[in-house]
Chains A and B, each alone.
Chain A
Amino acid sequence: MPDYTGPLPVPTPETRPFWEAAHRHELHLQRCRTCGRHHFYPRGACPHCLSADLEWQRVSGRGTLHTFTVVHRGARNYPLPSPYVLAVIELAEGPRLMSNLIGVEADPARIRIGMPVEVVFDDVTPEIALPRFRPAGPPR
């Protein structure tokens, strides 16, 4: 773990609650109290209605694979061995986020857009846990 060479997020005041929750292995999103919608990435203004009346909510961590690529030529020193799966996940609550699909061979023939996925947290350093996703069963 101390040898992690990959790029790490540097939280700012508006994103820190997300990363602190991830550190506890919980996925949290902002929800707007004015229009009721969730959004991602974290920010100080609702991108749907510009309201500043926002709250943090723990969410299910379940969603679907919206799109993906199998990266054969990754960034230098990137710690996931190539090829790896870079994915865009559509969360059950609506917002999409970039992550990785793990727990499945990095072969497009074995990966299906639309497949259900669930979050797993990867403690890459003592301070930072990255939310990655693995195939999940059908919604419970």
Chain B
Amino acid sequence: MSADQRRMRGRVAIVGAAEADEHGKLPHKSAFQLHAEAARNALADAGLHKDDVDAVFSAGLWMGSETAEYLGIRPRYVDGTQIGGCSFIAHVQHAMAAIAAGVCEVALITHGESGASRIGMPGTRFGADSFRLQFEVPFGLAGPPTGYALAAARHMHEFGTTNEQLAEVAVATRKWAILNPRAIMREPLTIDEVLASRMISWPLRLLDCCLVTDAGGAVVVTSAERARDCRAKPVYVLGTGEASTHVMVSQMPDFARWDAARLAGERAFAMAGVTHADIDVAEFYDAFTIVPIMGLEALGFCAPGEGGPFVAGQRTAPGGAFPMNTNGGGLSYTHSGMYGMFTLVEAVRQLRGECGPRQVPHARIALCHGLGGMFSAAATLIAGTEVP
């Protein structure tokens, strides 16, 4: 941890945050339309015009420049960093660095994904002679559930984590979704119903898995000085961290411990200079119920192996001691494929006090924690209503 990064605390702020106009199953819209809707809404939220934007960030091959072209923006700084669903949280850190260096001033970070309908999706497939297709896919690696199940099984083996504890996450998250009118899944859910849902890849059942939707989101980041002139109350970036340890799940250094998250979290807390007790609300990427459990451990909210007991007793539900995934998460609100953007949008809204029945009272410091690939990468953001 360098002193330089600590000096960055509070230097930039998120001044706009929004989703696309609609989400769910949208066969009438392309992925780029979802980018554009979210960008338009986030800029309106910030009180800025597209011509104010001089930096465009979006995750994927060519994505920064393709998004800029689609939106009619000619940026002087382009970033297409793709480290999975946490990319947008990492983009906030990249924007912070670029703004502080004087390379740009107003950064637009967008996400749009036709995850369910697959309309106008940029190419994301690995080649036939890639390492993944040579050394994993021939053995029946069948998408994310099979990969995450390998970590869940090892976590259960080493620490005694149970399916009931995994189900606690799904049930608590559903309770938040019921309070969010935009959430897709709003029927009450019980632990027994999660345990009775169909097996996908042991030990993960259907209701341990996130939704698959079409959705988009965007945030606008600028300097703290410029933020004071924006329409909405600034949400200051207090701490950021990112890390990458592998891409293929078979290369995961430790299947029971999420190393990338530990590294990203340490960096974000060190920069922010806050403690775990200072976090009022937490938005954890929840592609599968095991992910926030391993994230809570990696970030030090509990010891390694204690994530299961930590979430027991509906601790993360509305009214619980640890409000987590207050929009309903990827499990019950929406999950386009790269959910990290929605942790940012929800954290901004919580810190502005805009969340109505799901508002966490007096939320002043929020934590977003994103997941990339197969526990491959992680990015953490700590943000606050003021700079302590």
Contact = CB atoms under 8 A, between A and B. Distances in A.
A73 B133 contact: no
B137 interface: yes
A66 to B, nearest CB: 7
B128 A113 contact: no
Contacts of B255: 66-67, 88
Interface residues of B, number: 35
A9 to B, nearest CB: 4
A72 B205 CA distance: 10
Nearest to A89: B250
Contacts of A72: 198-202
A18 B201 CA distance: 29
A68 B141 contact: no
B134 to A, nearest CB: 4
A132 B154 CA distance: 20
Contact of B134 (A11, A70, A100): A11
Nearest to B153: A67
Interface string A112-130: 0100000000000000001
B202 A100 contact: no
B379 to A, nearest CB: 23
Interface string A8-28: 111110010001000000000
B250 A70 contact: no
Given A11-B129, A75-B143, A86-B140, A70 B202 contact: yes
Interface string A78-91: 10100110111000
B136 to A, nearest CB: 5
Contact of A100 (B140, B143, B201): B140
A15 B139 contact: no
B139 A86 contact: yes
B136 A98 contact: yes
B138 interface: yes
A78 B140 CA distance: 7
A71 B146 CA distance: 7
Interface in B247-269: 248-251, 255
B131 interface: yes
Contacts of B198: 72
B228 interface: no
Contacts of B152: 69
B129 A12 contact: yes
Residue among A19, A66, A80 facing the most chain B CB atoms (10 A cut-off): A66
B201 A98 contact: no
17 contacts: A6-B140, A7-B137, A12-B129, A15-B134, A67-B151, A69-B146, A71-B140, A72-B199, A72-B202, A73-B142, A74-B140, A74-B146, A86-B142, A86-B201, A97-B250, A113-B154, A113-B157
Q: Which 7 interchain pairs have the tightest Cβ spacing? A: A69-B149, A70-B202, A9-B134, A98-B250, A67-B154, A10-B129, A75-B142
Interface of B: 128-129, 131, 133-143, 145-146, 149-154, 157, 198-204, 248-251, 255
